[in-house]
Structure 1
Amino acid sequence: MKDNLLKFKDLENLKLAEDLAKACFEMYSVTSTGLAPEIAYFNTKEYSEGGLDCGNKGSKFVDDIIIKHSDCHNLLRLEIVESLSVLYRITEDPKYCEWGWPIFETFEKYTKVESGGIVL
């Protein structure tokens, strides 16, 4: 970015990537465990339901993100961590590291297997 190698379209795509990463990060912060739900809905004019069925009722996004009870599970998809890493390397903005660290800690807390083996 310092060398101005990005074209206008690249900057548009980067802004979109940053906005998507922010929305994905908030999926983690809005739950009580810190693990994102498998499915979430956004409260819009076209779609609206009462707040979270499961999650962090104290979140500032409680009225924006709808998580149904049957969708609370997390299938351990770590794409957000990869995305935050790429965004950090492109922008050098430390917020992406700050967002990624609690996600890492949450995965370690809730998915670590003491024996080192595979849980089936």
Structure 2
Amino acid sequence: MAEGIARMISGRLTMRADVERDQATGTDSWGNPTVPDFQPLGTLKCFAWSTSSREIVDGDKTAMVEDMRVMFALDADIEEGDEISAIKDRQGTVIIPGRLKVDGPVQRKHTHLEAALMRIG
């Protein structure tokens, strides 16, 4: 039964995320973390979706906020703070442009990993 569930989840992973991880280490001369240095980690099978979107109005400023989530296979190398430069379909066409950051801890579900995404920029 577990193999059947794993196949079902892998069948849902119809998208591909180009994942990058910060490789910067250490601190500067003031003791602050060094400037982030995101380097490509790899392309992971995934499925991303929007849970909701809303408009926020603050005086003369208006912003759209979209809550997004993404799921990966249980063995995916994905961590809090990783960034996604783009999410593509199987043919390589960008369907969700980046930059997206894995926001908060990656949650381990019974059949997959799941994470919240935050748009950067």
**Normalising to structure 2: TM-score of the pair?**
0.26
Report which of the two has the higher share of helix: 1
